[in-house]
């Protein structure tokens, strides 16, 4: 997992004066499941299209196994794409769709036949050779699109929000399916999505993007538990983000109360942002916690209750399996390692910290 | 009650639309030359038509002209749509506007201006000038037919073809064109029909000794209308009807065939 398979260097791209990617640096390793995650317009799809060859960057270069492919046409690249809207060829049968790339490569008829059967088996759709694309459900069409891409044995599979059009249950099934496929094929997946749950479930590495900048690169655990800044914390899951003052190492003051934490190196009496996940807050009887509050709202969510707790003018979101009725007085308690301290951005448009937390 | 009124209304509309053509068809089988009374059923005019060299000549010219002009206009128009697809939206709508103007322009203006252009360029009038003129007024119809289909096309099928290793030309013919085929065909047919029934523009750009059916009919009418012309018109109408029927049902038949 150590080779840089694809290396994006200093990539910028704008559309009609609108800067979409700003000096982006990113590498993708062999056999990695890397997810580009961010809200719409963050540049994730453009990044994917630059790797696929459908867009040319204004500046910077794309290296594939060390070779510069920045200006190489898409049909000459060793990557294949699964498009958001499937993009199956409507006038061809499933078999013809899957054979499309193989025929261009002038493979023998028997090879193509074997490959079609193998690919259909892989995506659990054996026997669908003669069907037409529009006689298949959305989920089935998506699987065929995947089959059509992988028969060409690409080194990298690019997936552009492939599950975006499917319903929740199907999406969850397909997530496991994709992980299985990736393990069976042993190739690199680059996956684009705006769905944080999808990203957390499937990825080896998550790249969180916003407004053309990489906000954080890390494993799902790192991105969730140690968000680099307020944007990442807010985008990945629910969170309570509040201003605090770092009194000294391992002690932070929030809303006038002092909390023990485990972070160091933020200086003394420096303003910081503090992230506390809703499930990391314990509600206890008055007098037993660090800070007092009153429950203002309780919603049953199935697995847990979601409660709003008003405390010294800040509304905390708390997830708990214990039920607290509205208007009851409680205390809030947080374990030191559940408090995540982040640098405060120095100005509104300060460039996000680009930190690659993967081991080299 | 509502249904009956609806049906009645529909019948009236259809009668209104097709009564003239029905009259023409009936008269083409009338053995009396008079338009006023029925002299009995006959194929005389149809047979006369076949033996009339001049009319058969004009008929052949018309078909060749219609086919060639429609074919060339279809190729050019489809290519134009492909190019426009890659344009920025603003330029695309400007070009669309420009291509629409010739359709709205009065035929006589188009005809006279084409004639003046040919004279200025010292091109001698004849088959070539008529063909060029027909191509000119056919292209907008092709664009009008193909462009909407292009817009609703899933753009990523083209990219998917490139992604799978197809060159741009191969991808166009293998993936994009089959999807457009219905629209391209109806563009061709519209052009074919437009060319068949054009009179004014042909009239201004034809040279001496050159006649299409419509100009031929026009010069015949000066001498007095011959029932052979009814027969001819009937044949033309039926030909177009069959073509239209074929084109409208083609996409449907296509799918059925592949599914089997």
Residue B136, pLDDT score: 93
What pLDDT shows up at residue B150? 87
Nearest-CA distance B42 → chain A (Å): 48
Q: Angle A118-A81-B82 (CA atoms, 0-180°, nearest 5)? A: 120
The predicted structure's pLDDT at residue A355: 53
Establish if A114 belongs to a structural domain. Answer: yes
Q: How far is B194 from chain A (nearest CA, A)?
A: 30
d(CA B207, CA B33): 32
Establish if A286 belongs to a structural domain. Answer: yes
Task: Please give the average per-residue pLDDT across B240-260, as a whole number.
Answer: 59
H helix intervals, chain A: 44-52, 94-104, 109-122, 138-150, 168-185, 196-202, 220-225, 230-235
**Per-residue pLDDT tens digits for A63-77:** 999 899 999 999 889
Do A268 and A167 belong together in one domain? no
State the average pLDDT over residues A183-188.
Answer: 89
Question: Hey, are the CB atoms on B165 and A152 less than 8 Å from each other?
Answer: yes
DSSP string, A181-231: HHHHHT-EEEEEES-HHHHHHH-SEEEEEETTEEEEEE-HHHHHHS-SSHH
DSSP string, B170-220: HHIIIIIHHHHHHHHHHHHHHHHHHHHH--HHHHHH--TT---HHHHHHHH
Last-in-domain residue among A183, A198, A225: A225
Interface of B with A in 32-51 (CB under 8 A): none
pLDDT in tens, A102-140: 999 999 999 999 999 999 988 889 999 999 999 998 889
Together in a domain, A280 and A304: yes
Residue-level pLDDT at B256: 43
Of A60, A62, A43, A39, nearest to A52 by C-alpha is A62
The pLDDT of residue B182: 85
Q: Is B156 in Cβ contact with A85 (below 8 Å)?
A: yes
- Contact between A63 and A69 (Cβ < 8 Å): yes
3-state secondary structure B140-174: HHHHHHHHHHHHHCCHHHHHHHHHCCCCHHHHHHH
Average pLDDT estimate for B147-159 = 87
Q: Domain check: are A142 and A170 in the same one?
A: yes
State which residue of chain A sits closest to B166, comparing Cα positions.
A75
Q: How far apart are CA A55 and CA A21, in angstroms?
A: 12
Q: pLDDT tens-digit profile of A201-225? A: 899 999 999 988 898 999 999 999 8
- What does the pLDDT average to over B197-218? 87
Of A53, A83, A101, the CB nearest to B156: A83
CATH code for the domain of A110 = 3.40.50.300
Q: Which CATH superfamily is domain B53-259 in?
A: MetI-like (1.10.3720.10)
Of A52, A83, A105, the CB nearest to B165: A105
At A130, phi and psi to the nearest 5?
-90, -5
Asked if residue A135 and residue A53 are part of one domain, the reply reads: yes
Query: pLDDT confidence of B121, banded at 50, 70, 90?
Result: very high
Paired tokens of A171: 């999406």
Identify all chain B residues contacting A192, using CB atoms and an 8 Å cutoff.
Answer: none
The H or E element that residue A333 is part of is strand A329-334
Question: To which residue do tokens 């054979």 refer?
Answer: A99
Domain span including residue A99: 4-225
ipTM above 0.95, yes or no: no
Distances (CA, A) of B35 to A126, B28, B144, B223, B227: 70, 10, 40, 16, 9
Number of domains making up chain A: 2
Residues A124 and A25 in one domain: yes
Instruction: Give me the mean pLDDT over the B71-89 stretch.
Output: 92
Q: Which of residues 116-175 of B touch A (CB under 8 A)?
A: 154, 156-157, 159-167, 170, 174-175
Q: CB A132 to CB B255 under 8 A? A: yes
CB-CB: which of A83, A104, A132 is closest to B165? A104
Summary mean pLDDT of chain B? 86
How many residues are there in chain B?
A: 260
Distance, in Å, from the CA atom of B100 to the CA atom of B79, rounded to the nearest integer, reads 16
Share above pLDDT 90 across residues of chain A, in percent, rounded to a whole number: 52
Indicate which of A74, A96, A119 best probes the interface with B, i.e. most B CBs within 10 Å of its own CB: A74
pLDDT value at B251 more than 60: no
Mean pLDDT, residues B18-22 taken together: 90
Question: Could you state, in order of their start, the residue ranges of all structural domains in chain B?
Answer: 1-42, 53-259
Q: Which residues of A touch B87 (CB under 8 A)?
A: none
Q: Which pLDDT does position B250 carry in this prediction? A: 58
Tokens of A314: 């800040």
Please indicate whether, in this complex, the C-beta atoms of B166 and A100 are within 8 angstroms of each other: yes
Q: Which residues are A27's β-sheet partners?
A: A7
C-beta atoms surrounding A196 within 10 Å: 19
Same-domain status, A133 and A216: yes
Note whether residue A358 is domain-resident: no
Evaluate whether residue A354 is within a structural domain: no
Which of A172, A194, A225 is at the close of a domain?
A225
Asked if B167 lies within 8 A of A52 by C-beta distance, the reply is no
Nearest to A311 by CA among A283, A341, A269: A283
């Amino acid at each position: 997992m150590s080779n840089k398979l694809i290396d994006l260097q200093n990539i910028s791209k704008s559309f009609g004066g609108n800067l979409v990617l700003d000096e982006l640096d990113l590498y993708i390793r062999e056999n990695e499941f890397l997810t580009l995650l961010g809200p719409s317009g963050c540049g994730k799809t453009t990044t994917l299209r630059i790797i696929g060859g459908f867009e040319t960057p204004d500046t910077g270069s794309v290296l594939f196994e060390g070779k510069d492919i920045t200006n190489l046409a898409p049909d000459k690249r060793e990557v294949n794409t699964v498009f958001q809207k499937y993009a199956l060829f409507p006038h061809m049968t499933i078999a013809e769709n899957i054979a499309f790339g193989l025929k261009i490569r002038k493979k023998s008829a028997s090879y193509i036949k074997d490959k079609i059967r193998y690919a259909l088996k892989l995506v659990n759709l054996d026997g669908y050779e003669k069907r037409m694309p529009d006689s298949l459900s959305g989920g089935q069409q998506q699987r065929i699109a995947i089959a059509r891409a992988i028969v060409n044995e690409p080194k990298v599979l690019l997936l552009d929000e492939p599950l975006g059009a499917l319903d929740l249950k199907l999406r969850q099934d397909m997530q496991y399916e994709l992980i299985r496929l990736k393990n069976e094929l042993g190739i690199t997946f680059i996956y684009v999505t705006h769905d944080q749950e999808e990203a957390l479930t499937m990825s080896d590495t998550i790249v969180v993007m916003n407004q053309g900048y990489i906000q954080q690169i890390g494993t799902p655990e790192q991105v969730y538990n140690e968000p680099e800044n307020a944007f990442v914390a807010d985008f990945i899951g629910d969170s309570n983000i509040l201003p605090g003052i770092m009194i000294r190492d391992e002690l932070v003051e929030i809303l006038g109360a002092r909390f023990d934490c485990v972070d160091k190196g933020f200086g003394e009496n420096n303003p910081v942002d503090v992230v506390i996940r809703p499930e990391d807050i314990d509600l206890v009887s008055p007098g037993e916690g660090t800070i007092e509050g009153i429950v203002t709202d309780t919603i049953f969510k199935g697995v847990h209750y979601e409660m709003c707790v008003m405390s010294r003018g800040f509304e905390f979101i708390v997830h708990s399996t214990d039920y607290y009725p509205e208007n009851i007085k409680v205390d809030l308690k947080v374990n030191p390692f559940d408090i995540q301290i982040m640098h405060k951005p120095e100005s509104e448009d300060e460039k996000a910290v680009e930190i690659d937390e993967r081991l080299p | 009650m509502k249904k009956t009124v609806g049906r009645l209304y529909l019948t009236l509309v259809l009668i209104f639309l097709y009564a003239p053509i029905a009259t023409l068809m009936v008269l083409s089988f009338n053995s009396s030359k008079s338009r006023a009374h029925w002299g009995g059923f006959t194929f005389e005019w149809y047979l006369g038509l076949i033996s009339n060299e001049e009319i058969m000549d004009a008929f052949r010219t018309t078909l060749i002209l219609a086919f060639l002009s429609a074919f060339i206009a279809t190729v050019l128009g489809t290519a134009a749509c492909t190019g426009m697809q890659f344009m920025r939206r603003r330029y695309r709508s400007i070009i669309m506007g420009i291509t629409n103007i010739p359709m709205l322009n009065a035929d006589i203006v188009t005809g006279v201006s084409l004639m003046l252009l040919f004279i200025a360029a010292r091109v001698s009038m004849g088959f070539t000038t008529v063909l060029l003129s027909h191509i000119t007024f056919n292209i907008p119809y092709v664009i009008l037919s193909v462009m909407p289909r292009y817009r609703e096309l899933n753009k990523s099928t083209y990219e998917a073809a490139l992604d799978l290793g197809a060159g741009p030309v191969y991808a166009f013919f293998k993936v994009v064109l089959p999807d457009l085929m219905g629209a391209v065909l109806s563009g061709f047919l519209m052009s074919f029909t437009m060319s068949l029934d054009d009179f004014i523009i042909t009239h201004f750009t034809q040279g001496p000794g050159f006649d299409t059916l419509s100009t031929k009919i026009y010069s015949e009418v000066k001498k007095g209308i011959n029932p052979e012309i009814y027969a001819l018109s009937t044949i033309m109408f039926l030909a177009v009807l069959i073509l239209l029927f074929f084109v409208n049902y083609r996409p449907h038949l296509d799918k059925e065939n592949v599914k089997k």
